[in-house]
Amino acid sequence: MRVGRDIDQDVGRGIDEAVDAGPDARFRQLYADHFDAVLGFALRRTERPEDAADVVAETFLVAWRRLGHVPADGTRPWLYGVARRVLANHRRGDGRRAALGRRLRDQLAGLSPDVAESVARRTDVEVAMSRLSGRDEEVLQLHLWEGLEPREIADVLGISAAIVRPRLSRAKARLRDLLGNDPGTAGHDYSRNPRTIGEEGPS
Amino acid sequence: MSYDDDRAARLPLAEGRAELLEEIMAQPQTESRRAHARWIAPLAAAAAVAAVVGGIALVSRGGSPTRGSDPAAGGGAVCWDGSTGATCPAPTGRAALPWVFPRLAGHLDRCVDALAAESDDPPMPFGTPAPGGPSGGVPTADRPAAYRCDLGMLGLDASAAAPRVWVYALGSDGGSATPGESHLSALVQRFGTGTFSIGGETAGPLVMDEVGLIHPSHLFIAKYADYPFAVMGYADDKAEAEQIIAALGARKPSEMTAPGVPDPSLPDFPSQALRSPEPTPS
């Protein structure tokens, strides 16, 4: 499975090359490498696709403005961390509608019937996950949906991996209790390298 | 949702995706020039977590608390701790929050021990939790008393555009400085780019950091220079930060130890602070 760190190593090479060409080239590379992941991250956490467009726009705007702070190794968890805060702002009603990305928002809004279908097909796993505490659910989503290892999850959440590991184990155990079986499913394509509950990656 | 990244990649968004890229790159690249961005970002994250604690809707009060009044004129002037001396002890701890920020009167129940409920979600200025300690984090003996009052949904007229405000009481209730207070003080002193004033009186250092995530554009931290209390929130500039602080009714430094007369419009001020139970760590 190509998890965040693996992917970062791949795209990191592209970024390294882009750095020499200046911030514009580096950002274009970053945008190309991570747009789909950030969009997927947002789509999986918003009810309306157009809201995901706002999250994507704000997340990459932050990346642009703080390009010097974006780590070459760990870019994706960094972006997820920003997207997570942007989402939190939106959920609290604090977020402004992004002035940017209007066309992207319109295009995503046009996907509504598709989204409705996907919502209707919410899996038992997702329903069970929603019954976990917010913190357990979030750490499990980052693990199962985004394919992040505990250390990467720690980067996203701004906490230590030592805290993430037991929390993740606890979340898995609780999910197991709720489901009575393994969860499966992920935002990433796990068919290429499936991860089953109870499996801990290196950290 | 059933969106995986591959499916997201197949969505017909080429035009919107390309247009967004150009729009973003047309924006000024306002990279923070200050080194403290490295710690202020996690601080913003901690603030976002704090917001989950819940908003607090301070009831709009018609009057403003009377404070710093001449005790003789007021008859029955008291201090934040209920004493009636000519000079009050320096306010400290959670119980003094309504004294320092009178708009908090009646809402101390929303001031939580910032480190108790979730040891891994401390306000970052207080340090990173050490693994293996009680509650999975900071050893109890080293934990600073840091009561965080989430004033989201405050409804302050002066800060309508900046609805999120956090107030901190640092240091132990016993009055001694804790590592948490010392740490924050050091950070603010180091990174503060100016000072904030209350009623024309300089109160302490002010940190303004570009956030970029939300509007207004800056996260600010204002800490009293001589007292263990701080305010954090969002503002576009120093003037707006000071407006927010003023809207909390923040006490001038020169009035911190002056007895005040309880305002009838705030029936629980200041005695409410004495009755309020200490928060129970969860």
Q: What is the ipTM of this complex?
A: 0.72
pLDDT digits (tens, 9 = 90+) for B19-67: 999 998 988 775 443 333 333 433 433 333 333 222 222 222 222 333 3
Task: For chain B, positions 197-236, list CB contacts with chain A under 8 A.
Answer: 210, 212-215
The answer to whether B229 and B223 have CB atoms below 8 angstroms apart is yes
For residue range B185-233, list pLDDT tens digits in order. Answer: 666 666 667 899 999 999 988 887 665 444 445 677 888 888 888 887 7
Prior bond of B267 cis (ω within 30°): no
Q: Do B51 and A88 touch (CB under 8 A)?
A: yes
Q: How far does the CA of residue A40 sit from the closest CA of chain B (Å)?
A: 5
Report the pLDDT averaged over residues B266-280. Answer: 38
Q: With a cut of 90, say whether residue B6 has pLDDT above it.
A: no
Residue B1 in contact with partner chain A when CB distance is under 8 A: yes
Q: What percent of chain A has pLDDT over 90?
A: 10
CB-CB neighbours of A81 under 10 Å: 20
Task: Note the pLDDT of residue A8.
Answer: 44
CA dihedral angle for residue B14, residue B16, residue B17, residue B20, rounded to 10 degrees: 150
Q: Do B20 and A103 touch (CB under 8 A)?
A: yes
Note the pLDDT of residue B37. Answer: 39
Query: Within a 10 A sphere around the Cβ of A74, how many other Cβ atoms?
Result: 18
In this structure, of A124-138, A148-162, B113-127, B225-239, the range with the lowest mean pLDDT score is B113-127
Across the interface, of B1, B41, B120, the residue whose CB is closest to A118 is B1
DSSP conformation letters of B171-197: S-TTS---HHHHHHHHHHHHH--EEEE
Contact A35 B17 (CB under 8 A): yes
Mean pLDDT, range B84-90, rounded to an integer:
84
Q: Could you give the CA distance from residue B122 to residue B113 in angstroms, rounded to a whole number?
A: 9
Q: Count CB atoms within 10 A of the CB of residue B237.
A: 13
Query: Which of B213, B218, B234 best probes binding to A when mutated, by most A CB atoms within 10 angstroms?
Result: B213
Q: Is B15 on the interface with A (CB under 8 A)?
A: yes
pLDDT digits (tens, 9 = 90+) for A95-136: 455 578 888 888 888 775 555 345 434 567 777 777 887 788
In degrees and rounded to multiples of 5, residue A124 shows phi and psi of -60, -35
* 8 Å CB contact of B19 and A162: no
pTM above 0.90, yes or no: no
Q: Which residue of B7, B13, B33, B218 to mutate against A (max A Cβ within 10 Å)?
A: B13
| Terminal alpha carbon distance of chain B | 33
